Structure 1
């Protein structure tokens, strides 16, 4: 694999870094936002969920727009929205303004979470598609960690004497990586598969030539050209045609239940959870540690996804996460919260997600759909992911307050264990399979 392919994939994945940063940075800001705007539990949930709500239209229409205007152009629009959201959130003068700018940031996140996996899957050689696709998740967890570190440094900065405005600096900090993302995008090429779909074969040949050897690039141009020529122009209605309906439903359910693992309740509400566990040490520092664990286990998964395959990782992850959620419920039930076993359980849970569902999610939703419907179908799958994310974000603080930690974590434990049944029955292995051959796999599911 050429270094050029890695570099352009890394730039595309930077949208994921901002995705992770923008969604997780709110965790450190909550304790300052709540008294500043006098928020109740429902309003607190809305501030957190606003980004997820914005993700829904962002994800739903990104694929269609990317098929029409190109992957690169839409990613540039995404970077501009990130900048607007960061500046706006930092200067917000009211609760309503903050929610609006969080919604704008959410639109950008929804678009990025759809566009980056599509772009990377379309430039990656089949043998390396899993590892290159994982760059999206690696960027996300790096963004999460950077947001936690940024929050910790802001709170402990000697330049800021008042905690009243800590949240402004936390939310506005995203403008730095957003600007970098914008300028780097100007240097990457358009997806060669999209260029061929627009009859720009000469341009596509040049890009494939930088990704493959001369002989392989010519073969790729022919394969993709023949595949696109055999298909009619994609329409939104094609996604739910009898030919594609099964795989679209599988992708939609798969992406949705990935959020029902409960991973984002840990990242969005980590300080709130740690405040209830009574374990010594700074709550924000413990939150930074969750980001470190997330990054380490994501890196550990790099050699596994193309060696073990997607399905085995998903099955292992569901079991690990389910057991961890049940363990947390038991610890709260028996009031065993004054020890580091609680922290260790949360770390094992995060590690279990990071090296299984976390890395497989963005690879799988971008590779299981045939070329004809990939943009629209990926949008629908990611749309489901963000709808589930919104539900989790809105309901968790209310569930924790009304049902208690025992019932709340117990429910998530049941969901995780139940996911084993879905993966066993409906998830088909895609390891090493060319994108043009994917359709042959799901027909037998």
Structure 2
């Protein structure tokens, strides 16, 4: 694999870094926002969930727009929206303004979470697609960690213009730096060669494929993609839900949705609220940084696993670990065993279990299971489901925690995680090492075997 392929994949994945930064940075601001704007539990849920709500239209329309205008152009639009959201959130003069700019940031996140996996899957050689696709998740967890570190430094730095009334402004505005970097680097990457072929721009596609593969392989790729697209009529929205594709689209939608119902983002969005109930481990913001460190370490550890063990095995392992950890947390809160480090260890094991399984598989799988004809729109639908579930989790968790208590709340998430084992066993099919143009054949064989 050429280094050029890695570099352009890294640039595309920077949208994921901003995705992680923007979604997680809110955790450090909640204490200050609650005081400044006198927020209740429902309003806290809205501030946190606004980004997830904005992700819904961003994810839903990004794929179709990318099919029409190109992956690169839409990623550039995404970077501009990130810049607007960062500056606007930091300068917000009211609760309403803050929610609006969080919604704009959410639109950018939803677009990035759809576009980056599509772009990377379309430039990656099949044998490396899993690892390159994981760059998206690696960027997300790096963004999460950077947001936690940024929040910690802003509060810990003794600068005269920083105080408890404006800490949150600088926390939210800090995202403008990586957003500008993302915008500049996007100007240097090429358009997806598969999209170029779909628009009959064969000469440009050959040039991009030539930078990714050897001369012989690039010619083979152009022919493979050209033949695949030539055999298909122009896609319509109705094609996505036709009998031919309906089942795989539903599998992708449910898969992406339940990835959020694992409860992983309650840890990252509401880490300070959780850690306030635990009586060990130092400051709340420092504990929050540790969750980001664990997330990053286990994401890196998963790199050699996704193309070796495959997607399905990792998902089954992850669901088991996360379910047991949620039940353990429920038990620890039930017996009021919060004065020991086993609570923190359980949370870290849960994060690690997600990071090296569901976390890395999610963005790889939703971008590779759909045939070329419907990939953009179908991926949007799957990611749309992911963000709807994320919004539900974000909006309901603070209310659940205060009304039901931590025992019932973590118990519910434990049941959900264990239940996911049945879904993965029954419906997820392995895609390890399969060329994108052969995915439908694999899926058809899987259906025939089950029939």
Give the TM-score of the pair, scaled to structure 2. 0.98
- Report what 1:286 is aligned to: 287
Deviations 1:181-208 (A, max 9, x none): 0000000000000000000000000000
Kindly indicate whether the alpha-carbon contact (under 8 Å) linking 2:281 and 2:287 is maintained by their aligned counterparts in 1.
no
1:440 Cα deviation after fit: 1.4
Q: How many matched pairs? A: 445
- Report what 1:83 is aligned to: 83
1:161 Cα deviation after fit: 4.6
Kindly indicate whether the alpha-carbon contact (under 8 Å) linking 2:25 and 2:144 is maintained by their aligned counterparts in 1.
yes
CA distance in 2, matches of 1:85, 1:162: 22
- Report what 1:30 is aligned to: 30
1:92-107 counterparts in 2 under 5 A?
92-107=92-107
- Report what 1:317 is aligned to: 318
CA gap of 1:161–1:118, structure 2 versus 1, over 3 A, is closer
Q: Structure 1 regions of 5+ residues with no counterpart? A: none
- Root mean square deviation of aligned Cα: 0.5
- Report what 1:375 is aligned to: 376
- Report what 1:438 is aligned to: 439
User: Which sits farther off after the overlay, 392-401 or 155-164?
Assistant: 155-164
Tell me whether 1:274 sits opposite 2:275 in the alignment: yes
Deviations 1:60-81 (A, max 9, x none): 0000000000000000000000
CA distance in 2, matches of 1:90, 1:26: 11
CA distance in 2, matches of 1:237, 1:278: 54
Deviations 1:328-373 (A, max 9, x none): 0000000000111100000000000000000000000000000000
Tell me whether 1:72 sits opposite 2:72 in the alignment: yes
CA distance in 1, matches of 2:228, 2:213: 19
- Report what 1:131 is aligned to: 131
- Report what 2:111 is aligned to: 111
Deviations 1:15-51 (A, max 9, x none): 0000000000000000100010000000000000000
1:280 Cα deviation after fit: 3.9
CA distance in 2, matches of 1:419, 1:61: 28
- Report what 1:254 is aligned to: 255
1:7-406 counterparts in 2 under 5 A?
7-159=7-159, 160-406=161-407
Moved over 6 A (4+): none
Deviations 1:198-232 (A, max 9, x none): 00000000000000000000000000000000001
CA distance in 2, matches of 1:434, 1:189: 21
Kindly indicate whether the alpha-carbon contact (under 8 Å) linking 2:239 and 2:374 is maintained by their aligned counterparts in 1.
yes
Q: Structure 2 regions of 5+ residues with no counterpart? A: none
CA distance in 2, matches of 1:140, 1:196: 30
1:278 Cα deviation after fit: 1.4
CA distance in 1, matches of 2:324, 2:87: 41
CA distance in 1, matches of 2:306, 2:171: 34
